[in-house]
Amino acid sequence: MTASRASGLLLHPTSLPGPPGIGDLGPAALGFLQTLHGAGQSLWQVLPLGPTGYGDSPYQTLSAFAGNPLLIAPEVLKEEGLLTAKAVAAVSAGAPDRVDFGAVIAAKTALLQQAWKAFDGGAGSPELREDWAGFREREQAWLEDWTLFAALHDRHRKSWVDWPRELAGREEKALETARSELSREIKRHAFSQFLFFRQWDAVRARATELGIRVFGDLPLFVAHDSADVWAHPDLFDLDEQGHPLRLSGAPPDVFTDDGQLWGNPLYRWDALEKSDFAWWVDRVRAAFRLFDLVRIDHFRGFAACWASPAGETTARNGQWDPVPGAKLFEVLQRELGELAFVAEDLGEITPDVNELRDRFGFPGMRILLFGFGGDPNENTFALFNHERNSVVYTGTHDNETVCGWFRDGIYTSMNRPKKEAEEERARVLTCTGTDGSEIHWDFIRLAMLSVADTVVVPVQDVLGLGNEARMNFPGTQNENWVWRLAPDQWTDEHSRRLVDLARATGRTP
């Protein structure tokens, strides 16, 4: 994946500091790139950037191709003459250190409506108008479905499967009527996508200038309530009314007796294969339009997916459903060339998953939080068992922070005996050679010393924060995705310590 050793930070754009509301792609994003550069880091990892729906999860987006309008920076729109300073200053959408998605959605929607009204009325430069025309022509393949879906979603305010039958079933006459009645709303949604990609392109360009690669995330599944499933129902395992016949998830394990029931519809891989995986080729091409590197979330699902019958309340009664992942990756390589993928090979990993990953040379993931339990000789996460072609994390967005885990989670996770937890904690202190008073820096140092080519550290771990700063609690609905980096929370000392470690371990650009 890399020609040399590298390291970087994990921070989703919603967590960037700035005005109250939500992090965005304006000055805060450009400033964070400068922070990365100053700290000797050459990777910025983000979560999926698509438009979020119920639950605000970036892994349950309304489109696999569209961008999230909530990330559009009002400050940039003001500079382009699309918003007044008064309109931007009047926005109040919550505290500066948390995302209040309800308030943000209302505030950002109102601002984007104002920006579209101004542009439609003649505001904006000739260059902006020229770029707008080019964007619509260039992105038409997915933009037409997305904008109609978004406009209908606004009108009906429910999942597409509960729309009037003629719209849910995409009867052409009904779609033509909707396009006519919702033409202004459709253009407004298209304009929001134009603004998102315009701002993201500026962020990417600045990252390239600074020698920073953007590391993105590609979920295996898409949400049932998405433009993708509505527009391509033949590619998903649905009944005649559009409801999923089987649901994705994960089997019972040491973390949960019931397994995980995610609710995403499964693919009809036979139909995808008949089209030479055309939809997947388009999707991956779109991902590499956004990112330099792409992490494939739930990589094991390209060998086999855990499928539970619709109507189940747990994942206990599911079964493994084979997936033609090798055929898919062969087509992707043929159509797109070398694939800069990282395999999220966590969970119940069987030999066929490792064989698929290694066949295509994709780096896997090693989570240092998992590296101190069990038999050290069999623990692939232990530092001395790392492989060069892998990416080491102190933890991910789904894990506790290092400090939260060391203080509390090591005792409470998996309901294990206290003696076992204390033995693991003692092993941590032996391996770090410290008293644990700066356990987050101990873990960062170990990660940087790994033989693995690439290291990624969540910003929360650099700051030494506890589980109050955790990004996601899998299997729960409350208080996920809301953490933000507070203004001035990152200091020059954090940058100095990171750059010193990067230099000492051969990870500077």
Active site residue 398: yes
d(CA 279, CA 293): 20
Question: Is there a contact between 248 and 306 (Cβ–Cβ < 8 Å)?
Answer: yes
Active site residue 237: no
d(CA 407, CA 243): 44
Return the percent helix, strand and coil in the chain, to nearest 5. Answer: 50, 10, 40
Q: Which long-range contacts (CB under 8 A, 24 or more apart) does 313-322 make?
A: 313/261, 314/258, 314/259, 314/261, 315/249, 315/250, 315/251, 315/252, 315/258, 315/259, 315/260, 315/261, 316/252, 316/258, 316/259, 318/249, 318/251, 318/259, 321/246, 321/266
Pairing mode of beta strands 364-367, 390-393: parallel
Looking from the CA of 237 toward its CB, the CA atoms found within 13 Å total: 19
d(CA 233, CA 267): 10
Phi, psi (5° rounding) for residue 272?
Answer: -60, -40
Question: Is there a contact between 322 and 266 (Cβ–Cβ < 8 Å)?
Answer: no
d(CA 120, CA 217): 34
Of the candidates 97, 398, 424, 438, the residue annotated as catalytic is 398
Of the candidates 344, 345, 400, 461, the residue annotated as catalytic is 344
Active site residue 344: yes
Bridge partners of residue 238, in order along the sequence: 244
- Residue 372: name the closest of 429, 413, 435, 418 by CA: 429
C-alpha torsion 410→414→415→416, nearest 10: -70
For residue 397, give the 3-state DSSP assignment. coil
| Cα-Cα end-to-end distance for the chain | 15
For residue 311, give the 3-state DSSP assignment. coil
Degrees to nearest 5, angle at CA 131 with 11 and 194: 40
Question: Is there a contact between 25 and 69 (Cβ–Cβ < 8 Å)?
Answer: no
Question: Is there a contact between 189 and 151 (Cβ–Cβ < 8 Å)?
Answer: yes
Secondary structure E strands in 116-259: 213-218, 246-250
d(CA 264, CA 61): 11
Of the candidates 80, 297, 442, 453, the residue annotated as catalytic is 297
Residue 266 one-letter amino acid:
L
d(CA 234, CA 242): 10
Instruction: Write down the residue that tokens 């959605």 correspond to.
Output: 105
Backbone Cα Rg of the chain: 23
For 172, the token pair is 């052409």
Residue 329 one-letter amino acid:
F
Under DSSP, the state recorded for 259 is -
Pairing mode of beta strands 304-309, 213-218: unpaired
Catalytic residue ranges: 297, 344, 398
